[in-house]
Amino acid sequence: MNKIHPEESNLSPRPIRQEQEPASEEITEIAKGIYRLQLPVSMPGLGHVNCYALEDKKGFSLVDPGLPGKDSWNSLEARLDDLGTNFKHVHTAIVTHSHVDHYGGVHRLRDDYDVEVLTHSSFSSVFGTDDIMEDPDAASLDLANDEDIEKLREMLSRPTPWGTKREPPSVEELRKWSGSNTGADSKSFQVPKPSLTVEDSEELEIAGRTWLALHLPGHTHDHLCLYDPIDGFFFSGDHVLPTITPHIGGMGNMEDPLAVFFNSLERTKEFSKVSLVLPAHGHPFNNLVERANDIIQHHVDRLQLIRETGDSIGEASVDDYMKHLFKERSWGDMAASETYAHLEHLRILGEVLPEEKQGVKTYKFA
Ligand SMILES: [Zn+2]
């Protein structure tokens, strides 16, 4: 009765996740002085980033002011205009973590409007001083120039810790993000230096409320969340998202990012009085503890799947595991990086033995 005809099932598109929805022009007033603005993002699985504007007597603080480039900047300008304000009244940018869809707008806000930039004290490029984008040469590349764009692609194809070469973004992608049509230069992709930093559990006065700064690493090493214990608002950044699981990658500077993430999720469950989660992608939601549990369970299930895969395929590379764990449409650097993070977690637990074949890491279950 309920059988779906095979042709029909092929035709039915995958449901669009909230996080993939294109940026709406609508502004939501979450509470007095807290507004959700959506800025356009075109990245795998993401259609917008939420930039939250918090109003006080001095003007506005912006949480995660979006990507670099004209598209995002013009949208932000239009949203501020709808709020009856403009860039001159923005005094602070708060950045939840060191990913470009969250910090990209900071450079221009600081260069043109001298805003303060507030982050967790560990905020930095995940690649440290080795980051290609921190290279002074990268800042001088002209992305409208074919030769320079190839140079940047070469720089971006740095080897992975599991011994393969990264596939750099295509010329089209780099142009789209940073070419003359978006008005962003390669400097906009550098992780900005904060002017104000906070430590875990520090209290912050923003927009007439007292927020507790929470360092909840995992998605990145420097991830900051903000919690208002009076009204129960919780800025979750990408730490907890409503319908997708945040990417946990092995390319960063944490030895066992999955273990770090598990710890942060366990800690998140202590905030059971949160009444409204304000994520960086997707719609606000209220079941923080349930969502943290779901994300933990997702990774527990993935680890189990890796164990079963290992039993059937034997000694195998990260890419081999990835091909068993992900659907073909998802194969690529991000899927490999997440697979690597899971395999390393099992290695550190002593469940799997690492080997190396011609410079490429392989894993074998004991
Ligand atoms: Zn993000």
In whole numbers, what is the pLDDT of the chain averaged over residues? 89
Enter the DSSP assignment of 43: E
Lookup: tokens for 193: 């230096």
Helix H or strand E segment including 129: none
Centre a 10 Å sphere on the Cβ of residue 131 and count the other Cβ atoms it contains.
18
Indicate the burial class of 212 (C-beta count within 10 angstroms; 0-12, 13-18, 19 or more): middle
3-state secondary structure of 208: coil
Q: In angstroms, what is the C-alpha Rg of the chain?
A: 21
Ligand 1 centroid to 46 CA: how many Å? 8
Ligand 1 centroid to 161 CA: how many Å? 23
214-269: pLDDT as tens digits? 999 999 999 999 999 999 999 999 999 999 999 998 888 899 999 999 999 999 99
* Residues paired with 119 in a beta bridge: 197
> What CA–CA distance (Å, rounded) separates 12 from 32?
41
118-170: pLDDT as tens digits? 999 999 986 654 455 555 555 566 667 778 788 778 877 778 889 888 778 78
Q: Is the pLDDT of residue 1 over 50?
A: no
Ligand 1 centroid to 102 CA: how many Å? 6
pLDDT at 137: 55
Q: Which residue has the tokens 């764009």?
A: 149
pLDDT at 333: 86
Ligand 1 centroid to 100 CA: how many Å? 8
Ligand 1 centroid to 334 CA: how many Å? 14
Q: Is the pLDDT of residue 176 over 70?
A: no
Ligand 1 centroid to 279 CA: how many Å? 9
Ligand 1 centroid to 81 CA: how many Å? 24
> What CA–CA distance (Å, rounded) separates 160 from 162?
5
14-26: pLDDT as tens digits? 678 999 999 999 9
Ligand 1 centroid to 4 CA: how many Å? 35
Q: Is the pLDDT of residue 2 over 60?
A: no
Of 9-13, 57-61, 86-90, 285-289, the one with minimum mean pLDDT is: 9-13
Ligand 1 centroid to 212 CA: how many Å? 21
pLDDT at 272: 96
38-54: pLDDT as tens digits? 999 977 789 999 999 99
Superfamily of domain 18-126+191-295: Ribonuclease Z/Hydroxyacylglutathione hydrolase-like (3.60.15.10)
Ligand 1 centroid to 352 CA: how many Å? 31
Ligand 1 centroid to 25 CA: how many Å? 19
Ligand 1 centroid to 238 CA: how many Å? 5
CB 120 within 8 A of CB 198: yes
Q: Is the pLDDT of residue 57 over 90?
A: yes
> What CA–CA distance (Å, rounded) separates 313 from 326?
15
Residue 177: which pLDDT band, with cuts at 50, 70 and 90? low
CATH code linked to domain 305-365? 1.10.10.10
Domain edges within the chain: 18-126+191-295, 132-189, 305-365
* Residues paired with 60 in a beta bridge: 55, 90
> What CA–CA distance (Å, rounded) separates 253 from 217?
11
Ligand 1 centroid to 160 CA: how many Å? 22
Ligand 1 centroid to 237 CA: how many Å? 7
Of 87-101, 159-173, 306-320, the one with minimum mean pLDDT is: 159-173
Ligand 1 centroid to 356 CA: how many Å? 33
